[in-house]
Amino acid sequence: MPINVLMPALSPTMEKGNLAKWLKKEGDAIKSGDVIAEIETDKATMEVEAVDEGVLAKILVAEGTADVPVNELIALIAEEGEDPGSVQAPTGGAEAKTAPVEPKSTPDQNAAPDGAHASYARVDQAPEGAKPNGAAQPAAQGSGGRVFASPLARRIAKQEGIDLSAVKGSGPHGRVIQRDVQAAIEGGTAKAGAPAKPEAKAAAAPAQEKAAPKPAPTGTAPAGLSLDQVRGFYEKGSFEEVPLDGMRKTIAKRLTEAMQVAPHFYLTVDCELDALMKLRETLNGSAGKDKDGKPLFKLSVNDFVIKAMGLALTRVPAANAVWAEDRILRFKHAEVGVAVAIDGGLFTPVIRKADQKTLSAISNEMKDFASRARAKKLKPEEYQGGVTSVSNLGMFGIKHFTAVINPPQSTILAVGAGEKRVVVKDGAPAVVQAMTATLSCDHRVLDGALGAELIAAFKSLIENPMGMLV
């Protein structure tokens, strides 16, 4: 029986990917660990490793194909002793290509564990991680009661007279796979019953109609203007159409959802920087040299901002949390994301345990992150998660702005440029170096007073930076 190769999920939120290149061709021998294809996501290009041995019998999705749904059948591997020439695509293959992809609220079992490679999954196997608490999940159903099942599971169920809607699936998102059907056969359950008599159906219908609850309002968000509507506002030939790449699509989707789902409110403070700038100069001047004579570190204002935000979260532990459907997750350490602009979008690599790291460690880690982000070489685990983020537009001369929270985080800090300002001190005008920072808060996690406590802790650390060294 041929092994089905599925489009892997390279991150918990991935729904589609581009099959950039096949590194093996039909007829090639495959060994476990061989890199067989390259997949492009919205963030990076990653390699897919084989987990089975055999011969690549049939490629079902050509290289260069865009928007291939996760778990779609992309190739078949003939097992040892099987004639590759006799391998045919499952009859359900076409259906699998058009099956809707369910949103992922939990990491997919196919997600790459180390971010560098991903392994496809066999549709006749499911890892234990796909079964929370060790229990199989009910068969996934789409609109209209459709059951999601692998082509192989459907074929066996049809041959054996098994009702798939009565089979509990242990595959991704409750998908029914081969072993679920075999378990139903061995257990003698889920046999398709004889069609009900018309009279029985008619008698049952009123009771069902009476018991059926009314569907809840969909509450779908406005879709916005269509392409043709937008075009209609402008003279033909006066614009160029630029197709969206995967990164821009993801940014548009996730941040639109963020504004619709997370109720934002904003808190703004002005922070004096004179003490911080003096300390920065002293620390940079005392930095040791490497073998080439270059400083071991060079601290930026943003490094102090990251450290201050990490410490502020630990000083206000109730704010060091994120929303998770029916509860709040509160963290033991501070994880601070930092927006890094690249051509066509941005990455937000996360500094883990920012509260515990030294300023020099944060500085060097951010330089590495920024360099690899611009080359699109970051691993998924390096830019996923986090509790808060820092977005700094000070280098562009921006004085003040508000930022959109990056789900699942609960806050984001928008930092403006440092500049000389006139303030009143001891009843007299004085010139200070200052910057404006605005904290966007998810009102489901933070109320106004808690958000104010968090940004006050941040301001205190920025204005008394020695507190970051002890």
Q: Is residue 117 annotated as part of the catalytic site, yes or no?
A: no
Long-range own/partner contacts, residues 91-96 (CB < 8 A, 24 or more apart)? 91/151, 91/155, 92/150, 92/151, 92/154, 92/155, 93/60, 93/151, 95/151, 96/71, 96/72, 96/150, 96/151
Identity of residue 393: L
Tell me whether residue 397 is exposed, middle or buried, using C-beta atoms within 10 angstroms of its C-beta: 0 to 12, 13 to 18, 19 or more.
exposed
Number of Cβ within 10 Å of residue 413's Cβ equals 24
Measured distance CA(138)–CA(165) in Å, rounded:
9
Among candidate residues 264, 333, 400, 443, the one labeled active-site is 443
Closest CA to 61 of 31, 29, 93: 93
Say which amino acid occupies 177: I
d(CA 416, CA 3): 55
The residue among 133, 129, 132, 26 whose CA lies nearest residue 84 is 26
Q: Are 455 and 267 in contact (CB under 8 A)?
A: yes
The residues annotated as belonging to the active site are 443
